[in-house]
Chain A
Amino acid sequence: MKLSSLLRFSIFAASTLSAFAADEPTVHVQQPHLQGPRELQETTAKAVVQNYLDSWQSMSQALDQNRPDLLDRDFVGSAREKLAATIKQQMAAAVRTTYRDRSHNVQILLYSPEGLSIQLADDVEYDVNLSSGGKSLGTQQVKARYIVVLTPSEVRWRVRIFQAEAQ
Protein backbone atom coordinates (compact mmCIF):
# COMPACT_ATOMS: atom_id res chain seq x y z
CA MET A 1 0.00 0.00 0.00
CA LYS A 2 1.33 3.40 -0.95
CA LEU A 3 1.91 6.09 1.63
CA SER A 4 -0.80 8.28 0.09
CA SER A 5 -3.26 5.41 0.38
CA LEU A 6 -2.30 4.83 3.97
CA LEU A 7 -2.77 8.50 4.74
CA ARG A 8 -6.16 8.49 3.07
CA PHE A 9 -7.09 5.42 5.09
CA SER A 10 -5.93 7.13 8.23
CA ILE A 11 -7.93 10.28 7.49
CA PHE A 12 -10.97 8.19 6.60
CA ALA A 13 -10.68 6.28 9.86
CA ALA A 14 -10.37 9.50 11.82
CA SER A 15 -13.36 11.09 10.13
CA THR A 16 -15.37 7.92 10.65
CA LEU A 17 -14.62 8.02 14.35
CA SER A 18 -15.47 11.69 14.70
CA ALA A 19 -18.77 11.14 12.91
CA PHE A 20 -19.55 8.03 14.91
CA ALA A 21 -22.27 9.52 17.05
CA ALA A 22 -23.54 12.18 14.71
CA ASP A 23 -25.04 10.38 11.72
CA GLU A 24 -28.73 9.65 11.57
CA PRO A 25 -29.71 6.14 10.57
CA THR A 26 -31.71 5.49 7.46
CA VAL A 27 -35.11 4.12 8.32
CA HIS A 28 -37.47 2.08 6.21
CA VAL A 29 -40.84 1.15 7.63
CA GLN A 30 -42.71 -1.63 5.88
CA GLN A 31 -46.47 -1.99 5.86
CA PRO A 32 -47.56 -3.82 9.01
CA HIS A 33 -48.05 -7.55 8.60
CA LEU A 34 -50.45 -8.04 11.47
CA GLN A 35 -51.50 -11.43 12.80
CA GLY A 36 -53.92 -10.16 15.42
CA PRO A 37 -57.57 -9.11 15.10
CA ARG A 38 -56.99 -5.64 16.48
CA GLU A 39 -56.85 -2.79 14.02
CA LEU A 40 -53.72 -0.66 14.17
CA GLN A 41 -54.26 3.04 13.72
CA GLU A 42 -51.65 4.90 11.70
CA THR A 43 -50.92 7.30 14.54
CA THR A 44 -50.28 4.38 16.88
CA ALA A 45 -47.99 2.70 14.36
CA LYS A 46 -46.02 5.91 13.86
CA ALA A 47 -45.68 6.46 17.59
CA VAL A 48 -44.51 2.90 18.17
CA VAL A 49 -41.87 3.05 15.45
CA GLN A 50 -40.65 6.47 16.57
CA ASN A 51 -40.47 5.39 20.21
CA TYR A 52 -38.59 2.25 19.16
CA LEU A 53 -36.08 4.25 17.11
CA ASP A 54 -35.66 6.62 20.07
CA SER A 55 -34.83 3.61 22.20
CA TRP A 56 -31.73 2.95 20.11
CA GLN A 57 -30.45 6.40 21.01
CA SER A 58 -31.15 5.81 24.68
CA MET A 59 -29.48 2.41 24.58
CA SER A 60 -26.44 3.76 22.77
CA GLN A 61 -26.00 6.61 25.22
CA ALA A 62 -26.56 4.39 28.23
CA LEU A 63 -24.04 1.78 27.10
CA ASP A 64 -21.58 4.46 25.97
CA GLN A 65 -21.74 6.36 29.25
CA ASN A 66 -22.41 3.35 31.47
CA ARG A 67 -25.49 5.07 32.84
CA PRO A 68 -28.48 2.77 33.40
CA ASP A 69 -30.70 5.74 34.27
CA LEU A 70 -30.65 6.73 30.60
CA LEU A 71 -32.66 3.58 29.87
CA ASP A 72 -35.66 4.64 31.93
CA ARG A 73 -37.50 6.63 29.29
CA ASP A 74 -37.53 3.91 26.65
CA PHE A 75 -37.06 0.53 28.32
CA VAL A 76 -39.06 -1.42 30.86
CA GLY A 77 -39.21 -4.92 32.27
CA SER A 78 -36.75 -7.56 31.16
CA ALA A 79 -35.28 -5.41 28.37
CA ARG A 80 -34.32 -2.75 30.87
CA GLU A 81 -33.06 -5.28 33.39
CA LYS A 82 -30.81 -6.96 30.84
CA LEU A 83 -29.40 -3.71 29.50
CA ALA A 84 -28.80 -2.42 33.03
CA ALA A 85 -27.02 -5.67 33.89
CA THR A 86 -24.84 -5.25 30.80
CA ILE A 87 -23.90 -1.74 31.93
CA LYS A 88 -22.98 -3.12 35.32
CA GLN A 89 -20.79 -5.75 33.66
CA GLN A 90 -19.17 -3.08 31.48
CA MET A 91 -18.39 -0.99 34.53
CA ALA A 92 -16.82 -3.99 36.26
CA ALA A 93 -14.75 -4.66 33.13
CA ALA A 94 -13.86 -0.95 32.76
CA VAL A 95 -15.10 -0.87 29.17
CA ARG A 96 -17.75 0.93 27.19
CA THR A 97 -19.59 0.03 24.03
CA THR A 98 -20.93 2.53 21.55
CA TYR A 99 -23.72 1.46 19.24
CA ARG A 100 -24.33 3.47 16.11
CA ASP A 101 -27.37 2.31 14.20
CA ARG A 102 -26.86 2.88 10.48
CA SER A 103 -30.12 1.57 9.08
CA HIS A 104 -33.42 0.12 10.21
CA ASN A 105 -35.99 -1.87 8.26
CA VAL A 106 -38.96 -2.08 10.59
CA GLN A 107 -42.18 -4.03 10.28
CA ILE A 108 -44.93 -4.31 12.87
CA LEU A 109 -45.95 -7.95 13.29
CA LEU A 110 -48.53 -8.10 16.06
CA TYR A 111 -50.88 -5.78 17.86
CA SER A 112 -52.13 -8.01 20.64
CA PRO A 113 -55.93 -8.29 20.85
CA GLU A 114 -56.18 -6.49 24.18
CA GLY A 115 -53.96 -3.65 22.95
CA LEU A 116 -51.28 -4.08 25.59
CA SER A 117 -48.34 -5.05 23.37
CA ILE A 118 -47.00 -4.46 19.91
CA GLN A 119 -44.35 -6.70 18.40
CA LEU A 120 -42.10 -5.62 15.57
CA ALA A 121 -39.13 -6.96 13.66
CA ASP A 122 -36.19 -4.80 12.68
CA ASP A 123 -33.48 -5.72 10.21
CA VAL A 124 -30.90 -3.36 11.57
CA GLU A 125 -27.35 -2.54 10.61
CA TYR A 126 -25.16 -0.98 13.21
CA ASP A 127 -21.57 -0.46 14.28
CA VAL A 128 -20.44 -1.42 17.73
CA ASN A 129 -17.26 0.02 19.13
CA LEU A 130 -15.55 -1.36 22.21
CA SER A 131 -13.32 0.95 24.19
CA SER A 132 -11.40 0.87 27.41
CA GLY A 133 -9.82 3.80 29.18
CA GLY A 134 -10.63 6.07 26.25
CA LYS A 135 -8.87 3.76 23.79
CA SER A 136 -10.84 2.05 21.06
CA LEU A 137 -10.30 -1.69 21.01
CA GLY A 138 -12.13 -2.08 17.72
CA THR A 139 -15.33 -1.57 15.81
CA GLN A 140 -17.50 -4.22 14.22
CA GLN A 141 -20.24 -3.83 11.66
CA VAL A 142 -23.27 -5.89 12.49
CA LYS A 143 -26.39 -6.94 10.60
CA ALA A 144 -29.02 -8.42 12.83
CA ARG A 145 -32.75 -9.01 13.00
CA TYR A 146 -34.25 -7.82 16.24
CA ILE A 147 -37.56 -8.98 17.62
CA VAL A 148 -38.96 -6.26 19.82
CA VAL A 149 -42.05 -6.04 22.00
CA LEU A 150 -43.25 -2.66 23.19
CA THR A 151 -45.90 -1.96 25.79
CA PRO A 152 -47.72 1.27 26.47
CA SER A 153 -46.76 3.43 29.43
CA GLU A 154 -48.06 6.81 30.53
CA VAL A 155 -46.96 8.82 27.53
CA ARG A 156 -45.08 6.53 25.17
CA TRP A 157 -44.46 2.96 24.11
CA ARG A 158 -41.52 1.39 25.89
CA VAL A 159 -39.42 -1.58 24.86
CA ARG A 160 -40.10 -4.64 27.01
CA ILE A 161 -38.41 -7.34 24.92
CA PHE A 162 -35.34 -6.57 22.82
CA GLN A 163 -33.66 -9.60 21.33
CA ALA A 164 -31.60 -10.28 18.21
CA GLU A 165 -32.34 -13.45 16.30
CA ALA A 166 -29.67 -15.77 14.93
CA GLN A 167 -28.97 -14.99 11.28
Chain B
Amino acid sequence: MRAEVPTLLGGLALGITSCLAQSGDLTIPKSVEAGAAFSVQSGGSGKGTLYIAGPGQMIKQDVQLGTSIAIAAGSLYNAGHYSVWVTSESSTQTGSMDVVPRQKPSDLTFIAKPSRLPVALHNAITGSVYVFDTYGNLITKPMQIAFQLSNPGTAPQTKTAETHNGAAWTQMDSAAHEGKAQFVARIGDVSSTRIVGQVPGDPCSIKMNAKSAGDKIQLVTDPVRDCSGNAIPDGTIVTFTETYGDGKSTVDVPLKKGIASVEMPAHRGATISVASGVVLGNQIRWAQ
Protein backbone atom coordinates (compact mmCIF):
# COMPACT_ATOMS: atom_id res chain seq x y z
CA MET B 1 0.00 0.00 0.00
CA ARG B 2 2.87 2.33 0.82
CA ALA B 3 4.26 1.76 -2.59
CA GLU B 4 0.93 2.69 -4.17
CA VAL B 5 0.58 6.10 -2.55
CA PRO B 6 3.51 7.73 -4.36
CA THR B 7 2.18 6.29 -7.63
CA LEU B 8 -1.22 7.81 -6.95
CA LEU B 9 0.36 11.06 -5.90
CA GLY B 10 2.50 11.08 -9.02
CA GLY B 11 -0.51 10.56 -11.23
CA LEU B 12 -2.48 13.30 -9.54
CA ALA B 13 0.52 15.60 -9.51
CA LEU B 14 0.75 15.26 -13.27
CA GLY B 15 -2.89 16.34 -13.52
CA ILE B 16 -2.27 19.31 -11.26
CA THR B 17 0.74 20.33 -13.33
CA SER B 18 -1.50 20.44 -16.34
CA CYS B 19 -4.06 22.47 -14.45
CA LEU B 20 -1.47 24.94 -13.22
CA ALA B 21 0.00 25.28 -16.66
CA GLN B 22 -3.39 26.31 -17.94
CA SER B 23 -3.02 29.66 -16.29
CA GLY B 24 0.52 29.85 -17.55
CA ASP B 25 2.51 31.30 -20.32
CA LEU B 26 0.13 31.73 -23.19
CA THR B 27 -0.17 35.28 -24.46
CA ILE B 28 -3.07 35.87 -26.84
CA PRO B 29 -4.57 39.08 -28.18
CA LYS B 30 -7.88 39.75 -26.45
CA SER B 31 -9.53 40.39 -29.76
CA VAL B 32 -8.56 40.49 -33.41
CA GLU B 33 -10.40 41.67 -36.47
CA ALA B 34 -11.78 38.96 -38.72
CA GLY B 35 -9.15 37.75 -41.15
CA ALA B 36 -6.30 39.69 -39.57
CA ALA B 37 -2.91 38.16 -38.91
CA PHE B 38 -1.92 37.76 -35.27
CA SER B 39 0.42 35.79 -33.10
CA VAL B 40 0.18 33.64 -30.00
CA GLN B 41 3.12 33.53 -27.62
CA SER B 42 3.48 30.20 -25.87
CA GLY B 43 5.70 29.22 -22.98
CA GLY B 44 7.85 26.15 -22.44
CA SER B 45 9.96 24.34 -24.96
CA GLY B 46 9.70 21.50 -27.40
CA LYS B 47 6.97 20.67 -29.81
CA GLY B 48 3.29 21.22 -29.21
CA THR B 49 -0.04 21.68 -30.89
CA LEU B 50 -2.14 24.80 -31.06
CA TYR B 51 -5.92 24.51 -31.15
CA ILE B 52 -8.23 27.48 -31.69
CA ALA B 53 -11.80 26.31 -31.34
CA GLY B 54 -15.17 27.99 -31.50
CA PRO B 55 -18.51 27.20 -33.04
CA GLY B 56 -17.51 29.30 -36.04
CA GLN B 57 -14.15 27.79 -36.84
CA MET B 58 -11.49 25.31 -35.76
CA ILE B 59 -7.76 25.66 -36.35
CA LYS B 60 -5.08 23.11 -35.48
CA GLN B 61 -1.43 23.88 -35.99
CA ASP B 62 1.83 22.20 -34.98
CA VAL B 63 3.97 24.67 -33.06
CA GLN B 64 7.31 25.13 -31.38
CA LEU B 65 6.73 25.98 -27.74
CA GLY B 66 8.40 29.08 -26.36
CA THR B 67 8.13 30.91 -29.64
CA SER B 68 5.70 33.28 -31.22
CA ILE B 69 3.13 31.32 -33.20
CA ALA B 70 2.04 33.22 -36.27
CA ILE B 71 -1.53 32.92 -37.47
CA ALA B 72 -1.61 34.08 -41.07
CA ALA B 73 -4.00 36.69 -42.41
CA GLY B 74 -7.22 35.12 -43.63
CA SER B 75 -6.91 32.10 -41.34
CA LEU B 76 -9.36 33.05 -38.60
CA TYR B 77 -12.23 35.01 -40.07
CA ASN B 78 -15.54 34.02 -38.49
CA ALA B 79 -16.51 36.42 -35.73
CA GLY B 80 -17.09 34.93 -32.32
CA HIS B 81 -15.48 33.70 -29.14
CA TYR B 82 -12.66 31.21 -29.39
CA SER B 83 -10.99 28.96 -26.85
CA VAL B 84 -7.28 28.41 -27.33
CA TRP B 85 -5.19 25.45 -26.20
CA VAL B 86 -1.50 24.81 -26.71
CA THR B 87 -0.78 21.24 -25.71
CA SER B 88 2.34 19.17 -25.43
CA GLU B 89 3.07 15.83 -23.82
CA SER B 90 3.72 17.52 -20.48
CA SER B 91 1.60 20.63 -20.37
CA THR B 92 -1.50 22.42 -21.52
CA GLN B 93 -1.68 26.19 -21.87
CA THR B 94 -5.05 27.80 -22.39
CA GLY B 95 -6.59 31.12 -23.17
CA SER B 96 -9.39 32.67 -25.12
CA MET B 97 -9.94 35.43 -27.62
CA ASP B 98 -12.62 37.19 -29.60
CA VAL B 99 -12.74 37.67 -33.34
CA VAL B 100 -14.65 40.82 -34.19
CA PRO B 101 -16.23 41.65 -37.53
CA ARG B 102 -14.43 43.94 -39.93
CA GLN B 103 -15.92 47.40 -39.71
CA LYS B 104 -16.25 47.89 -43.46
CA PRO B 105 -19.63 46.68 -44.73
CA SER B 106 -19.47 44.37 -47.69
CA ASP B 107 -22.96 43.00 -48.00
CA LEU B 108 -26.53 43.87 -47.07
CA THR B 109 -29.36 41.46 -46.60
CA PHE B 110 -32.36 43.55 -47.56
CA ILE B 111 -35.91 42.32 -47.25
CA ALA B 112 -38.60 44.57 -48.70
CA LYS B 113 -42.26 43.72 -48.25
CA PRO B 114 -44.68 43.55 -49.85
CA SER B 115 -43.49 43.20 -53.42
CA ARG B 116 -46.84 44.48 -54.70
CA LEU B 117 -49.36 46.73 -52.99
CA PRO B 118 -52.01 49.38 -53.65
CA VAL B 119 -51.05 53.02 -54.07
CA ALA B 120 -51.33 55.72 -51.42
CA LEU B 121 -50.96 53.61 -48.28
CA HIS B 122 -49.16 55.08 -45.29
CA ASN B 123 -46.15 53.14 -43.93
CA ALA B 124 -47.21 50.11 -45.92
CA ILE B 125 -43.80 49.26 -47.39
CA THR B 126 -41.26 47.90 -44.94
CA GLY B 127 -37.57 47.29 -45.38
CA SER B 128 -35.29 45.34 -43.05
CA VAL B 129 -31.54 45.24 -43.35
CA TYR B 130 -28.75 43.20 -41.82
CA VAL B 131 -25.18 44.40 -42.44
CA PHE B 132 -22.30 42.00 -43.01
CA ASP B 133 -18.56 42.24 -43.54
CA THR B 134 -16.66 40.53 -46.30
CA TYR B 135 -16.58 37.26 -44.33
CA GLY B 136 -20.32 37.22 -43.72
CA ASN B 137 -20.00 38.39 -40.11
CA LEU B 138 -22.82 40.55 -38.78
CA ILE B 139 -21.41 44.03 -38.08
CA THR B 140 -22.94 44.92 -34.73
CA LYS B 141 -21.38 48.36 -34.40
CA PRO B 142 -24.06 51.05 -35.04
CA MET B 143 -24.10 52.29 -38.63
CA GLN B 144 -26.34 54.57 -40.66
CA ILE B 145 -28.41 52.98 -43.39
CA ALA B 146 -29.97 55.18 -46.07
CA PHE B 147 -33.26 53.99 -47.50
CA GLN B 148 -34.73 55.46 -50.67
CA LEU B 149 -37.96 54.65 -52.46
CA SER B 150 -38.02 56.08 -55.97
CA ASN B 151 -41.17 56.30 -58.05
CA PRO B 152 -41.14 57.39 -61.69
CA GLY B 153 -42.06 61.04 -62.01
CA THR B 154 -42.10 61.91 -58.32
CA ALA B 155 -39.52 62.92 -55.75
CA PRO B 156 -38.04 59.93 -53.93
CA GLN B 157 -38.79 59.25 -50.29
CA THR B 158 -35.65 59.00 -48.21
CA LYS B 159 -35.11 57.90 -44.64
CA THR B 160 -32.13 56.93 -42.57
CA ALA B 161 -31.96 54.40 -39.78
CA GLU B 162 -29.21 53.37 -37.43
CA THR B 163 -28.41 49.73 -37.05
CA HIS B 164 -28.82 48.11 -33.65
CA ASN B 165 -26.89 44.87 -33.31
CA GLY B 166 -26.45 44.82 -37.06
CA ALA B 167 -30.11 45.34 -37.98
CA ALA B 168 -32.13 48.33 -39.15
CA TRP B 169 -35.61 48.78 -40.57
CA THR B 170 -37.83 51.43 -42.04
CA GLN B 171 -41.35 52.03 -43.30
CA MET B 172 -42.34 53.94 -46.44
CA ASP B 173 -45.58 55.14 -48.01
CA SER B 174 -46.67 53.74 -51.33
CA ALA B 175 -46.83 56.39 -54.05
CA ALA B 176 -49.99 58.10 -55.27
CA HIS B 177 -49.49 56.77 -58.79
CA GLU B 178 -49.15 53.22 -59.94
CA GLY B 179 -45.88 51.88 -61.25
CA LYS B 180 -42.75 50.05 -60.21
CA ALA B 181 -40.74 51.68 -57.44
CA GLN B 182 -37.08 51.08 -56.72
CA PHE B 183 -36.46 50.51 -53.04
CA VAL B 184 -32.77 50.91 -52.22
CA ALA B 185 -30.90 50.34 -48.96
CA ARG B 186 -27.40 51.79 -48.92
CA ILE B 187 -24.45 51.99 -46.61
CA GLY B 188 -21.29 53.56 -47.99
CA ASP B 189 -20.70 52.10 -51.42
CA VAL B 190 -22.75 48.99 -50.70
CA SER B 191 -26.35 48.94 -51.76
CA SER B 192 -29.16 46.55 -52.39
CA THR B 193 -32.24 47.22 -54.54
CA ARG B 194 -35.71 45.71 -54.53
CA ILE B 195 -38.59 46.44 -56.88
CA VAL B 196 -41.97 47.18 -55.38
CA GLY B 197 -45.00 47.08 -57.65
CA GLN B 198 -47.60 49.71 -56.81
CA VAL B 199 -51.02 49.02 -58.25
CA PRO B 200 -54.23 51.03 -58.15
CA GLY B 201 -56.20 50.81 -54.95
CA ASP B 202 -59.91 50.13 -54.60
CA PRO B 203 -62.25 52.06 -56.88
CA CYS B 204 -63.00 55.48 -55.46
CA SER B 205 -66.50 55.56 -56.97
CA ILE B 206 -68.41 53.81 -59.73
CA LYS B 207 -70.85 55.53 -61.99
CA MET B 208 -72.95 53.61 -64.49
CA ASN B 209 -75.23 54.76 -67.26
CA ALA B 210 -78.18 52.89 -68.70
CA LYS B 211 -79.88 52.94 -72.06
CA SER B 212 -82.52 50.86 -73.71
CA ALA B 213 -81.50 48.09 -76.10
CA GLY B 214 -84.74 46.49 -77.27
CA ASP B 215 -86.08 44.35 -74.47
CA LYS B 216 -82.85 44.75 -72.56
CA ILE B 217 -81.05 47.47 -70.68
CA GLN B 218 -77.47 48.23 -71.65
CA LEU B 219 -75.44 49.21 -68.61
CA VAL B 220 -72.01 50.82 -69.00
CA THR B 221 -69.77 52.28 -66.32
CA ASP B 222 -67.60 55.32 -66.63
CA PRO B 223 -63.88 54.47 -66.52
CA VAL B 224 -63.30 53.10 -63.02
CA ARG B 225 -60.49 54.79 -61.11
CA ASP B 226 -59.06 54.77 -57.61
CA CYS B 227 -59.05 57.88 -55.44
CA SER B 228 -55.66 58.94 -56.87
CA GLY B 229 -56.98 58.79 -60.44
CA ASN B 230 -55.29 55.52 -61.39
CA ALA B 231 -57.26 53.28 -63.70
CA ILE B 232 -58.44 50.12 -61.97
CA PRO B 233 -56.85 47.12 -63.72
CA ASP B 234 -58.76 45.20 -66.33
CA GLY B 235 -60.17 42.01 -64.93
CA THR B 236 -61.39 43.60 -61.73
CA ILE B 237 -64.90 42.35 -61.16
CA VAL B 238 -67.83 44.77 -61.21
CA THR B 239 -71.16 43.43 -60.03
CA PHE B 240 -74.47 44.62 -61.49
CA THR B 241 -77.60 43.76 -59.53
CA GLU B 242 -81.14 44.21 -60.86
CA THR B 243 -84.03 43.93 -58.43
CA TYR B 244 -87.60 43.78 -59.65
CA GLY B 245 -90.73 42.62 -57.80
CA ASP B 246 -89.70 39.39 -56.13
CA GLY B 247 -86.94 38.83 -58.65
CA LYS B 248 -83.26 39.56 -58.56
CA SER B 249 -80.53 39.14 -61.15
CA THR B 250 -76.83 39.51 -60.54
CA VAL B 251 -74.09 39.63 -63.14
CA ASP B 252 -70.35 39.79 -62.48
CA VAL B 253 -68.42 41.52 -65.25
CA PRO B 254 -64.67 42.02 -65.50
CA LEU B 255 -63.41 45.45 -66.37
CA LYS B 256 -62.28 45.72 -69.97
CA LYS B 257 -60.33 48.80 -71.05
CA GLY B 258 -61.27 50.39 -67.74
CA ILE B 259 -65.01 50.02 -68.07
CA ALA B 260 -67.62 47.35 -67.43
CA SER B 261 -70.67 46.83 -69.58
CA VAL B 262 -73.50 44.33 -69.62
CA GLU B 263 -77.02 43.85 -70.92
CA MET B 264 -79.73 42.88 -68.45
CA PRO B 265 -83.47 42.20 -68.96
CA ALA B 266 -85.59 45.32 -68.94
CA HIS B 267 -88.19 45.19 -66.18
CA ARG B 268 -90.30 48.24 -65.65
CA GLY B 269 -89.67 49.63 -62.16
CA ALA B 270 -86.50 47.59 -61.66
CA THR B 271 -83.74 48.98 -59.47
CA ILE B 272 -80.21 48.45 -60.74
CA SER B 273 -77.13 48.89 -58.63
CA VAL B 274 -73.43 48.51 -59.32
CA ALA B 275 -70.55 47.64 -56.99
CA SER B 276 -66.96 46.48 -56.96
CA GLY B 277 -65.49 45.03 -53.81
CA VAL B 278 -66.69 47.17 -50.95
CA VAL B 279 -67.42 50.17 -53.13
CA LEU B 280 -71.04 50.78 -54.05
CA GLY B 281 -71.82 52.88 -57.13
CA ASN B 282 -74.94 54.70 -58.18
CA GLN B 283 -78.43 53.22 -58.45
CA ILE B 284 -80.77 53.53 -61.43
CA ARG B 285 -84.52 53.00 -61.39
CA TRP B 286 -85.69 51.75 -64.79
CA ALA B 287 -88.96 53.46 -65.61
CA GLN B 288 -89.43 52.52 -69.27
CB <8 Å contact, A110 and B164: yes
Query: How far is B100's CA from A9's CA once the two chains are assembled, in angstroms?
Result: 37
**Hey, which chain A residues are within 8 Å of B3, CB to CB?**
none
CB <8 Å contact, B138 and A130: no
Please provide the chain A residues from 1 to 44 with a CB less than 8 Å away from any CB of chain B in the complex.
Answer: 1, 3, 6-7, 9-10, 13, 35-37
CB <8 Å contact, B165 and A119: yes
Q: Residue on B with the closest CB to A89?
A: B58
B54 within 8 A of A: yes
CB <8 Å contact, A163 and B137: yes
Query: How far is B126's CA from A130's CA once the two chains are assembled, in angstroms?
Result: 45
**Hey, which chain B residues are within 8 Å of A138, CB to CB?**
18, 22, 85, 87, 92, 94
B103 within 8 A of A: no
With A142-B96, A161-B130 known to touch, is A89 a contact of B165 (CB < 8 Å)? no
CB <8 Å contact, A140 and B94: yes
Q: Contact partner of A63 among B22, B55, B81, CB < 8 A?
A: B55
Q: Contact partner of A142 among B59, B81, B126, B165, CB < 8 A?
A: B81
**Hey, which chain B residues are within 8 Å of A85, CB to CB?**
57
Q: Contact partner of A113 among B30, B80, B164, B169, CB < 8 A?
A: B169
Pick out which of these stretches binds chain A: B8-16, B224-232, B256-264, B273-281: B8-16
Query: How far is B169's CA from A163's CA once the two chains are assembled, in angstroms?
Result: 20
CB <8 Å contact, A162 and B171: no
CB <8 Å contact, B136 and A78: yes
A-B contact count (CB 8 A): 140
Chain A contact residues, majority secondary structure: mixed
CB <8 Å contact, A113 and B15: no
**Hey, which chain B residues are within 8 Å of A36, CB to CB?**
169
CB <8 Å contact, A93 and B60: yes
Please provide the chain B residues from 19 to 68 with a CB less than 8 Å away from any CB of chain A in the complex.
Answer: 22, 30-31, 51, 53-60
B194 CB, min distance to chain A CBs, angstroms: 11
**Hey, which chain B residues are within 8 Å of A69, CB to CB?**
none
B132 CB, min distance to chain A CBs, angstroms: 8
**Hey, which chain A residues are within 8 Å of B81, CB to CB?**
142, 144, 164, 166-167
Query: How far is B21's CA from A138's CA once the two chains are assembled, in angstroms?
Result: 11
Q: Contact partner of B96 among A63, A83, A112, A140, CB < 8 A?
A: A140
Q: Contact partner of A82 among B51, B57, B94, CB < 8 A?
A: B57
A47 within 8 A of B: no
B165 CB, min distance to chain A CBs, angstroms: 5
A to B CB contacts below 8 Å, 16 in the list: A3-B8, A7-B12, A10-B12, A35-B164, A82-B136, A83-B55, A85-B57, A86-B54, A93-B58, A116-B113, A119-B167, A130-B51, A147-B140, A161-B130, A163-B137, A163-B140
